[in-house]
Amino acid sequence: MAVVKAVIVAGGSSSRMGGVDKIFATIADKPVIAHTIDAFERCGAINGIVLVLPKTSLEKGKELVGKYGYKKVEKVCEGGDTRQRSVSNGLKEVGECDFVEVHDGARPCVSIEVIEKGIEEAMREGIAIAASPVYDTIKHVDEKSMVKQTLDRSELRAIHTPQVFRSEIIRKIYENPPIEATDDAGLAEKLGYPVKVYEDAKENIKITTIGDLAIAETILLKRPSAAK
């Protein structure tokens, strides 16, 4: 049986939230980050969790773990000044395992099915990342906002988390990252690793603005376990 550890990264500044700390904002009777942890805590395929938070939120995070009795959270650690550095800090706290699943703490509506699907795909391919089709027409523009070309949206995907890696792969790419990337798969791609994309659930939204809190709450309240 493969050992899978999750790194939940919540080190952002919430700069687009008008001063609201989105990770600890309450929706469906719990902080956002609690809903995110809940999914991994309940998932039978996950053996342990490392929670990465800003320095100013470390104590609040530890209190939350105690309050909700999370058994799988092995460590609450400090993030870095970028998402990439936060993931790197989290990886240092992950013990021996076969796979590492990285997830954004600001995606509280992730389902157990999506978590498990990523693990299944990574077992076959080495790396698997959640994504959704792009339905808008996407145009490539120049520095003057003039259209250079219209991209074929059938070949485009919006990339989300979870992103799942064989442990040896993600540790290797973080030994000496080739670039500063906005997602972990970008580092793997740069080093030539093949990356499998699997379809995410539409409900797995990322909370970026105040309005997203209400949308996430609506999604969570439809789930019987959300407010427990």
Interior angle at CA 79, CA 95 and CA 47, nearest 5: 30
- CATH for the stretch 4-221: 3.90.550.10
Q: List the chain domain ranges.
A: 4-221
| Amino acid present at 112 | I
Residue 54 has pLDDT above 60, yes or no: yes
Nearby residues of 56 by Cβ (< 8 Å), 6 or more positions away: none
From CA 35, how far away is CA 60, in angstroms rounded?
15
pLDDT of 19? 56
For residue 160, what is the DSSP state? Answer: E
pLDDT of 225? 62
Residue 226 has pLDDT above 70, yes or no: no
pLDDT of 126? 97
pLDDT of 223? 82
Q: pLDDT tier at 224 (50, 70, 90 boundaries)?
A: confident
% the chain with pLDDT above 70: 94
pLDDT of 137? 96
| pLDDT tens readout for residues 160-199 | 999 999 999 999 999 988 788 889 999 999 999 999 999 9
DSSP codes of every residue in 170-219: HHHHHHS-SS--SSHHHHHHHTT---EEEEPPTT-----SHHHHHHHHHH
% the chain with pLDDT above 90: 88
Do 104 and 163 form a contact (C-beta atoms < 8 A)? no
Nearby residues of 196 by Cβ (< 8 Å), 6 or more positions away: 121, 122, 124, 125, 126, 127, 128, 129
pLDDT of 228? 46
Q: What mean pLDDT comes out for the span 75-87?
A: 94
Q: pLDDT tier at 60 (50, 70, 90 boundaries)?
A: very high
Residue 127 has pLDDT above 50, yes or no: yes
